[in-house]
Homo-oligomer: A and B are copies of this chain.
Amino acid sequence: MTTLPPADAALLPYDLWVNKAHSVMLAKTGIIPSADAAKILRGLMAIEKQIASGDRTLDTAYEDVHTQIESQLTDALGIDVAGKLHTARSRNDQVVTDMKLYLRDQVILLTGYSIGLVQTLLALADAHKQKPFPGFTHHQHAMVTSFGHILAGFASMIIRDIKRLEHWSTLHNTSPLGNAASYGTSFPIDRYLTSTLLGFDGPDRNSLDAITNRWEPEADLAFGISVLMQHLSTVAETLMLLATPEFGMITLSDEYSTGSSIMPQKKNPDPLEVIKGKAAFSQGQLMSLLSLGKGSFIGYNRDSQWAKYIIMDIFRECSPSPAVLSGVLETMTIHHDVMEKWCTKSFIGATTLMEQLAATAGLPMRRAKIVVEKAVKYSAGKNSVSYRAMHKALKECNCDVTLSATEVKKWQDPQTILSLAKSTGGPGSKQIAMSLKYMHRMLKKQRAWFYAQQKRKQDALMALNSEVQHILKGGE
């Protein structure tokens, strides 16, 4: 059981950051005297230090974190100094700026977890890339593939999910500070400076936009996370089915299973079910966010404050999911014998048989399909098409084709099928190696982006610190 802190607890560090950047800007533009700014900055740093040391924390007696910090600053410095901090801004742009900084950090965090999952999947895909697995469509056996091919398919999805997080950054990494209540201010503020000190790409170009659409960066992220969660739910559902007694293809580790309050033998795939549950959860939260925006009038509307609570719930519930799934995947036991056993059953090799019949005998595919369909029927009760059935079917279809018993058997053999899988993106040994290489290349780029984002934040904080030091030293 967990107690949830107020949403604003997550904003504490960001509110301090924004306050410091704003104070520096007010001083550098001459809107407030440098001496006052220096006092304010010292006050903010004192609060920051107290929070870091645990002496001060979020106080739920205040309306919100913004009020708390300004009030505590006022307690320390008096209104004649602290009362200048809120010059040329509104709580509207302050909240939106805090939230963007928070969202940006959460994006980095989630990117990190997702990269970790792709790494796990690619490593496993490589290890099992030639291990036969009964590929499904419609929950029925379709064609032989490899277990590595399935895992690579999962990696491929998540790589796209990480791209969506990058796109978020492209759309929303602009600074709302200075939008004020929605219509700007008459003070000669320098929005480019605060944008730089906060690590943004630049200021918003219309002060109304971001405030009216306070739900939108949240919805963009909620959508990206929801698609990720649906993908993870597919991985989870697949693993859960493979782990049923009937499938028996994998066994989850004890670490990622739980027992029952009543049934002594139970070993439940709880973490996978939880991922499915959170996939459902994320859908609804996205819906709430979009609905917040529907039919909203221009300017700030209080309704949109719920975007804050909703997106924080999404992050808390969903962010760790890729890491959990990595753990499940890394610790599970894979029963290749069972997987392979099913690769010789229920006529799963019929498609390759048909393709090879068409390829070697020059039979039109549609004729080859009719032949093999008949052969399947004539092999009823067996696991694969027999030579006799094939012979009978060919004859009945007036196909003047001679096929050896060896060929009929070979083309339905799992390892042969894998060796014949020549198409790009398929489970053939060369093809899957190339695919994995491609995905590693993608992942490398994404890792570079991930580090660049972290560095950028550090650069902004260092730039801010240098400005702060300058002001503290009495410079302007």
Asked whether A58 is an interface residue with its Cβ less than 8 Å from the other chain, the reply is yes
Query: Contacts of A149 on B, CB cut-off 8 Å?
Result: 183, 206-208
Query: Contacts of A376 on B, CB cut-off 8 Å?
Result: 264-265
Contact status B260-A181, CB under 8 Å? yes
Whole-angstrom CA separation of A178 from B426 in the bound complex: 9
Contact status A262-B359, CB under 8 Å? no
Contact status B4-A4, CB under 8 Å? yes
Asked whether A227 is an interface residue with its Cβ less than 8 Å from the other chain, the reply is yes
Contact status B264-A135, CB under 8 Å? no
- Among the 9-residue stretches A46-54, A102-110, A164-172, the one with 4 or more Cβ atoms under 8 Å from chain B is A164-172
Whole-angstrom CA separation of A74 from B364 in the bound complex: 12
- Among the 9-residue stretches A241-249, A324-332, A443-451, the one with 4 or more Cβ atoms under 8 Å from chain B is A241-249
**Do A421 and B238 contact each other (CB < 8 Å), given the known contacts A3-B4, A138-B300, A303-B277?**
no
Contact status A293-B230, CB under 8 Å? yes
A side interface size, CB within 8 A: 184
Q: Select which of B1, B213, B366 is within 8 A of A83 by beta carbon.
A: B366
Chain B min CB distance to A309 (Å): 8
Query: Contacts of A260 on B, CB cut-off 8 Å?
Result: 90-91, 137, 142, 181
Whole-angstrom CA separation of A435 from B305 in the bound complex: 27
Residue among A79, A140, A278, A286 with the highest chain B CB neighbour number at 10 A: A140
Chain B min CB distance to A225 (Å): 11
Whole-angstrom CA separation of A294 from B284 in the bound complex: 12
Query: Contacts of A150 on B, CB cut-off 8 Å?
Result: 208, 298
Asked whether A180 is an interface residue with its Cβ less than 8 Å from the other chain, the reply is yes
Whole-angstrom CA separation of A74 from B88 in the bound complex: 62
Whole-angstrom CA separation of A375 from B265 in the bound complex: 9
Asked whether A173 is an interface residue with its Cβ less than 8 Å from the other chain, the reply is no
Contact status A171-B164, CB under 8 Å? yes
Asked whether A118 is an interface residue with its Cβ less than 8 Å from the other chain, the reply is no
Whole-angstrom CA separation of A327 from B84 in the bound complex: 37
Q: Select which of B82, B89, B291, B438 is within 8 A of A205 by beta carbon.
A: B438
Q: A417's closest neighbor in chain B, by CB?
A: B186
Query: Contacts of A144 on B, CB cut-off 8 Å?
Result: 183
**Do A183 and B424 contact each other (CB < 8 Å), given the known contacts A1-B8, A270-B302, A295-B295?**
no
Asked whether A456 is an interface residue with its Cβ less than 8 Å from the other chain, the reply is no
Q: Select which of B1, B65, B303 is within 8 A of A62 by beta carbon.
A: B1
Contact status B233-A293, CB under 8 Å? yes
Q: Select which of B223, B279, B300, B310 is within 8 A of A294 by beta carbon.
A: B279
Chain B min CB distance to A461 (Å): 23
Asked whether A56 is an interface residue with its Cβ less than 8 Å from the other chain, the reply is no
Asked whether A467 is an interface residue with its Cβ less than 8 Å from the other chain, the reply is no
Chain B min CB distance to A144 (Å): 8
Contact status A6-B3, CB under 8 Å? yes
Asked whether A470 is an interface residue with its Cβ less than 8 Å from the other chain, the reply is no
- Among the 9-residue stretches A13-21, A347-355, A400-408, the one with 4 or more Cβ atoms under 8 Å from chain B is A347-355
Contact status A142-B284, CB under 8 Å? no
Within 86-120 of A, Cβ neighbours of B (below 8 Å) are at 86-92
Q: A136's closest neighbor in chain B, by CB?
A: B299
Contact status B281-A288, CB under 8 Å? yes
Contact status A277-B299, CB under 8 Å? no
Interface flags for A420-453 (1: CB within 8 Å of B; 0: not) read 1111111110010011001100000000000000
Query: Contacts of A216 on B, CB cut-off 8 Å?
Result: 160, 227
Contact status B342-A63, CB under 8 Å? no
Contact status A184-B423, CB under 8 Å? yes
Contact status A186-B83, CB under 8 Å? no
Asked whether A23 is an interface residue with its Cβ less than 8 Å from the other chain, the reply is no
Interface flags for A352-385 (1: CB within 8 Å of B; 0: not) read 1011101100001111010011011000000000
Q: A266's closest neighbor in chain B, by CB?
A: B140
Q: A284's closest neighbor in chain B, by CB?
A: B288
Query: Contacts of A350 on B, CB cut-off 8 Å?
Result: 263-265
Contact status A295-B206, CB under 8 Å? no
Query: Contacts of A322 on B, CB cut-off 8 Å?
Result: none
Asked whether A414 is an interface residue with its Cβ less than 8 Å from the other chain, the reply is no
Residue among A6, A156, A226, A245 with the highest chain B CB neighbour number at 10 A: A245
Whole-angstrom CA separation of A21 from B346 in the bound complex: 34
Additional A-B contact list (10), CB under 8 Å, known A183-B426, A186-B420: A139-B273, A142-B182, A144-B183, A152-B208, A153-B206, A163-B170, A223-B223, A241-B244, A281-B288, A284-B289
Nearest 7 pairs of A and B residues by beta carbon: A184-B426, A284-B288, A83-B364, A83-B366, A153-B208, A277-B303, A265-B347
